[in-house]
Structure 1
Amino acid sequence: MSDMPPVIDLRAAERGPEARAEFLDRLRRAAHEIGFFQLVGHGVVGAAELLDLSRQFFALPDRERHELDILNSPHFRGYSRLGREHTRGEPDQRQQLDIGPERPGARPAAGEPTYRWLIGPNQWPASLPELRQAVLAWMDQLADLSHRLLRLILESLETPADFLDTVVAPDPQVHFKLLHYPGPAAEVVDTISPGQGAGIHKDLGLLTLLVQDSVGGLQVAFEDDNFVDVPVVADAFVVNLGELLEVATRGYLKATIHRVVRPAPGVDRYSMPFFYSPRLEGEMRPLPSRYVSEADGVVVDPGNPLFACYGDNVMKGLTRGFPDLIARHHPDLLNTTGQ
């Protein structure tokens, strides 16, 4: 593919049999060769307005944001200051608001899995009440789009489009972040390492749909760990695949490592990633596909072995990413996650 990552128009899937076949072939090659693509023609509206609300949230007084501190939530919802979340053990230089499906909070009963802690309420700023409605409506739109896109990816592999419906339905695990990457202070620019925006990683679940502002900064290693910038395309979602699809296809589909470069001094970057994954108790299934049967790629990552149950994988990742929250609310997990 000459465009890296390619721009794929979802409307082509509905323009007749020939256009659909060409669309599916392009989608399959993007998911196989690159693991990233830019999705346009998706019909989702409201990104600019939500980005503006995100800017308003991060411009709130420190006191108001810190009232929503994620450390107050055993359900891993809320605001994180710079350096709170870690990637590969290093602090990410970004602020963020972590949001999930709005549910009543409850302590898991005796014998229930610890991932039941992931079900609970969000924390919202009292002085920006419109944020709650806008975010929850956005998440509903993106859950529908993600499910449609997942079915199309399966169809492109000559797998029944509904093959993973029981893995994600009726309650897929979705997760949304508002992110703010402030440029470093001028006095640290000349130091050896002013800090990572977001460290090198792969995403865990099925699909990630990202809105990035005009600043850019997302970099992807398409081959040989050489990172290249992902250009900003108007009205596009940057889509990438997670490790569960990579493993379920014996490496035929690609979960590509990526990172975010911290912006220059005086520059602020905002982005909004949405993560679509199996329901917490769901277990992935190998995909029946001739492409998969002929693949000989990754089926296990020795540096990050995957559990059968998706919820267990999430808790493992959160234990790595939020060690101070784990120590405060879930200290029993420190000796049970292989960390």
Structure 2
Amino acid sequence: METLEVPHVRHYEAAPPTTADLEWADLPTVDLLLARTPEGMDELTKIVKTAMRVHGFLYVINHGLTPEQNARMFDIADIPFSGATDADKQTYLAPMKESGSYQGYKPRQYWHIDSGVKDEIETYSINRDVTKREHPEVLRPFLPEISAFAKFNHFHVLHPLLRLFARAVDLPEDAFVNIHGYDAVGETYVRSMKYYPRSEEDEKKVQQVWLKGHTDIGTVTILWSQPVSALQVLSPNNTWRWVKHVPNALVVNAGDALEFLSGGRLRATIHRVRQPPPDQRGRERLGIFYFAMADDDVVIAPMVPNEEKSSRFTAENVMTMAEWRQARTRAYGHTKLVRNEREKGVEEEVINGVLVRHYN
């Protein structure tokens, strides 16, 4: 990432990693150093092909950001929450219901989780083009760094991964890159996300689930690993396994749009967030994400033969990236879900003709 003259920021101190004996997911690792040679790309393609069929999640290492730069970005990520006033947060609310956009603040207790309990998650999302809208004054000195961070994620992490994903489904290497333009109209963004502890009474009502099992809206989600254990992935044997913190690594998964585009060969993985283990309870959990979406005008129809023969990939429900993200954003956490009587803990809704499932 490019070096900039930077203003002072208060250091964010995260909780130490858990020492709890948890059932960890055995996720494969993509070493981006290998992407520099044809032989390395061949090796990584095999890893990605297996990872996206079996796990849907993977770690990425050797991406090029130093641990010190990583820590600096977490310091900046906390500013929208600890540095902004309540008035700022109201002024810069995201127009989720109005236009299906996450740009700005999502306040706490906006989504319904279960049994009348709402979320305790606060987010602030910034379009990769940081000039798209205004931001709280306290964050403005840091916009050049956030912009550089977005470009780093886009060109040095997302694009190499998209090339690997394309190779994994036998498409030309730049097939997915070409529909993820940095300067195109779209909603790819950097998101800061803070989970706050809640009462034990509410924890019991929702069985310790902070964010119920779901798939992501876009194509690729890049999570910068942080030490509070809460993320779980639904494994192929239908059990929830914890995602372990790996310092200065990335946790990457495919979203719905990439599953659509790949005809189901790159699956959008079901994951959830739950209460951390006992030695980390009572601590906030701060995350940084790069949520990638195809350009708004891209039709998210299969670019390869549809192997899955699923109702999620039909000619009747083809839509653009903009239509899909707007519909999912408006609906999430607000629509009435229908319980699936055949599968315990599964709730469903239909959005723009596509079956969307939630897991609890």
TM range (shorter): 0.7 to 0.9
Letter of the structure 1 residue corresponding to residue 162 of structure 2 = L
| 1:27 aligns with one of 48, 53, 58 | 48
RMSD, aligned CA:
3.3
Q: Kindly state the Cα deviation for residue 148 of structure 1 after the two structures are TM-superposed.
A: 2.2
Give the distance between the partners of 2:218 and 2:29, measured in 1 at CA. 22
Match of 2:241 in 1: 228
Are 2:294 and 2:321, in contact at CA under 8 Å, matched by a contact in 1? yes
Deviation, structure 1 residue 260: 0.9
CA shift, 1:338, in A, is 7.8
- Residue 9 of structure 1 corresponds to 31
Distance 1:337 1:38 in 2: 32
Amino acid paired to 1:138 = F
Are 2:144 and 1:133 aligned?
Answer: yes
Matches within 5 A, 1:1-339: 4-14=26-36, 16-45=37-66, 46-60=69-83, 62-70=85-93, 76-85=102-111, 91-102=118-129, 120-121=132-133, 123-144=134-155, 145-169=157-181, 171=184, 173-185=187-199, 188=201, 191-193=204-206, 196-263=209-276, 265-288=281-304, 295-296=307-308, 298=310, 300=312, 307-321=318-332
Instruction: For residue 299 of structure 2, give the secondary structure of its aligned residue in structure 1.
Output: coil
Q: Is the 8 A contact 2:253 2:269 kept in 1?
A: yes
Rounded to whole Å, the distance in 2 between the matches of 1:127 and 1:165 is 34
Pair 317,91 (structure 1): closer, same or farther in 2 beyond 3 Å? farther
| SS in structure 2 at match of 1:134 | helix
Distance 1:66 1:165, change over 3 A: closer
**Corresponding letter in the other structure for 2:136:** P
Q: Distance in 1 between matches of 2:160 and 2:40?
A: 17
Q: Is there any run of 5+ residues in structure 1 with no aligned partner, and where?
A: 105-119, 325-335
Whether the 8 Å contact between 2:121 and 2:195 is mirrored in structure 1 is: yes
Structure 1 contact 184–265 (Cα < 8 Å) conserved: no
Shift of the 166–265 alpha-carbon distance from structure 1 to 2, 3 Å rule, reads: closer
Offset, 1:159? 1.6
Contact 1:87 1:321 in 2 (8 A): no
In 1, the alpha carbon distance for the partners of 2:91 and 2:244 equals 33
Once the two structures are overlaid, the 10-residue window that deviates more, 128-137 or 149-158, is: 128-137
Mapped partners of 1:87, 1:143: distance in 2: 31
**TM-score of the two chains, using structure 1 as the length reference:** 0.77
CA contact (8 A) 2:218 2:258 kept: yes
Q: 1:12 to 1:298 in 2, by over 3 A?
A: farther
Normalised by the size of structure 2, how large is the TM-score? Answer: 0.73
Secondary structure of 2:151's aligned partner: helix
SS at match of 1:129: helix
Amino acid at match of 1:277: M
Determine what percentage of the aligned residue pairs are the same residue. Answer: 21
Change (3 A) 1:180 1:134: same
Residues 81/190 of structure 1: CA separation in 2 closer, same or farther (3 Å cut) = closer
Q: 1:173 to 1:151 in 2, by over 3 A?
A: farther
